[in-house]
A and B are shown apart, each in its own frame.
Chain A
Amino acid sequence: MLSLVLLAGIYVRALVFTPIEATQGAAQKIFYLHVPAAICTELAFGICGLVSIAYLWLKDRRMDMFASSSAEVGVAFGTIILTTGPIWGKPIWGTWWSWDARLTSTLFLFLLFVGYMVLRGVVTDPDLRARFSAVIGIMGLVLIPFIHLTVYLFRTLHPMPIVLKPSAPSLPAVMLVTLLLSFGVFVLLYVGFVMQRYALAILRDVRDEEAANAA
């Protein structure tokens, strides 16, 4: 059922996408995908942090599973953005990487949450793993505004070409609509993936519990 919603979402985006592209240069196309995706990635990490707070407050194992699902989806999105970005960017901007505000923030947060996943892989006791993850999740949440501030301050001091931002001073309505639609689709994708991942985690948890009690 969920996958149907996702497919619908992708279709809509593709349909709306194509008529618009005719009016822009090819270069602009990218950010319809990347900006919303990057925002969604950060959203995923932020939600992870918020749910982590809830976990520590309520001590409900399911919240840990939700938080880690959100983080995983964020890492997956991040991987896609950070790999496809340079690949698309090279022929268009002539450089593999640029310290664009959005990309940079995404990069550092992505790396942190990769660390989060590694940590989860290393700690075997589920209770300890949940608590450690919650700590990183919450700290990551607090870090998000500071990373943005850092990038912002750096760029005001050392202005650099803006690549992933709509360059028009006022955004034509048509571009804005596409952007928002794309963002909506990514949120849908996020929700869909997280729910699936969460469902999987719950199933695993039930199975592990039964196995332990049978022993």
Chain B
Amino acid sequence: MTSAPASTPPADLVLSARDISRRFGYRRVLNTVSLELYRGQVLLLVGANGAGKTTLLRVLAGLLRPSQGTVTHSAAVGLVAHDAMLYDALSAYENLAFFQRLHGGKDPARIRALLDQVGLADRADDRVGTFSRGMVQRVAIARALLAEPTLLLLDEPLTGLDERTTRIVLDVLTGLRDAGTAMMVVSHQPTDFLGVATHIARISKGGLTVPEPFTTASTTAPLTYDGA
């Protein structure tokens, strides 16, 4: 996954993070994390609570500035976080339309297409406040896809979802992967992502292991969680 350094980045390189460190007050949460992601790769990120997974995702998304290090994206990034980042009083369509305006565009057809892709075409005009957790999560995914990101970051996307919604989400992610979107998924249940994820890496005490290919063997070997 980490290729030999080239003078110009290969066309497939979607994300390049070098020596990312991040402190909160006096605490060091991330410690010289380096990472590269290419088109179509789905990296599963595991680790104990508090190891730095969410922080890493937020740094990669651009919400947090790293205390040290650089992050380079080839194109747009989408984030699906713990919180949906939506407005309850607005409908699914209105939420997407608003965020689309902030991306600089106005494309109703695309909004409809996205809602269709996540299976919410029939609830487009209902207020998000009336949605179940599964539906909210799907709108959040649609919102993350608005800018046609080449990199999608997901923080425990399947938490609290029922079986049907889980299937829908995994299908969407598989489809995106096959179309070339790179993804990074934080999850406490790596087995959920068999057949979807291509690689797996672990964060422990702010450090990141070198990603390895994700196979059934990766999930049967015990994942030891040393105290983070």
Are any A and B Cβ atoms less than 8 Å apart in their complex? Answer: yes
Chain A nearest Cβ from B211, distance in angstroms: 29
Which residues of chain A are within 8 angstroms of B24 by Cβ–Cβ distance? 125, 127
Q: How far is the CA of A125 from the CA of B29 in the complex (A)?
A: 14
Q: Does A212 belong to the interface (CB within 8 Å)?
A: yes
Mark out the residues of chain A between 162 and 215 whose CB falls within 8 Å of any chain B CB in the assembled complex.
208-209, 211-213, 215
Q: Which residues of A contact B25 (CB under 8 A)?
A: 125-127, 212
Across the two chains, which residue of chain A brings its CB closest to B28?
A213
Residues of A within 8 A of B28 (CB): 213
A57 to B219, CA, bound (A): 49
Q: Which of B25-40 contact A (CB under 8 A)?
A: 25-28
| Most chain A CB atoms below 10 A, which of B24, B26, B28 | B26
Q: Bound state CA distance, A137 and B25, in angstroms?
A: 21
User: What is the bound-complex CA distance between A125 and B25, given in angstroms?
Assistant: 6
Nearest chain A CB to B105's CB is how many angstroms away? Answer: 33
- In angstroms, how far is the closest chain A Cβ from the Cβ of B226? 16
Docked complex Cα distance between A209 and B24 (Å): 11
**B21 CB, nearest partner CB in chain A, Å:** 14
The interface bits of chain A over 121-134 (1 if a CB of B lies within 8 angstroms of the residue's CB, else 0) are 00001110000000
Shortest B61–chain A CB gap in Å is 19
For window 1-51 of chain B, which residues contact chain A by CB distance below 8 Å?
24-28
Report chain B residues within 8 Å CB of A209.
26
Assembled-state Cα–Cα distance A211/B27 (Å): 10
With a CB–CB cut-off of 8 A, which chain B residues contact A127?
24-25
A215 to B24, CA, bound (A): 14
> A residues within 8 A CB of B27?
212, 215
Q: Which of A125, A126, A212, A213 has the most CB of B within 10 A?
A: A212
Name B26's closest neighbour in chain A (CB-CB).
Answer: A212
Complex CA–CA separation, A127 to B27 (angstroms): 12
Residue of A nearest to B24 (CB): A125
Q: For the complex, what is the distance from the CA of A5 to the CA of B26, rounded to whole Å? A: 36
Say how far B20's CB is from chain A's closest CB, in angstroms: 17
What residue in chain B is nearest A126 (Cβ atoms)? B25
CB distance from A110 to the nearest CB of B (A): 30
Considering the chains assembled together, what is the distance between the CA atoms of A51 and B37 in angstroms?
A: 43
Q: Which A residue sits closest to B25, measured CB to CB?
A: A126
In whole angstroms, how far apart are the Cα atoms of A212 and B24 in the complex?
10
With A and B bound together, what is the CA distance between A215 and B228 in angstroms? 11
Within 8 A of A (CB), among B113-143: none
* Docked pose: A139 CA to B27 CA in angstroms: 30
Interfacial chain A residues near B26, Cβ < 8 Å:
126, 208-209, 211-213
Instruction: For residue A199, give the distance in angstroms from its CB to the closest CB of chain B.
Output: 19
Q: When chains A and B are docked, how far (Å) is the Cα of A208 from the Cα of B26?
A: 8
Tell me the bound Cα distance from A14 to B222 in angstroms: 78
Q: Considering the complex, give the chain B residue whose CB is closest to the CB of A127.
A: B25
The docked-state distance in angstroms from the alpha carbon of A213 to that of B23 is 11
Distance in Å from the Cβ of A210 to the closest Cβ of chain B?
9
15 CB < 8 A contacts A-B? A125-B24, A125-B25, A126-B25, A126-B26, A127-B24, A127-B25, A208-B26, A209-B26, A211-B26, A212-B25, A212-B26, A212-B27, A213-B26, A213-B28, A215-B27
- Name B residues whose Cβ lies closer than 8 Å to a Cβ of A: 24-28
5 nearest A-B residue pairs (beta carbon):
A212-B26, A126-B25, A209-B26, A212-B27, A125-B25
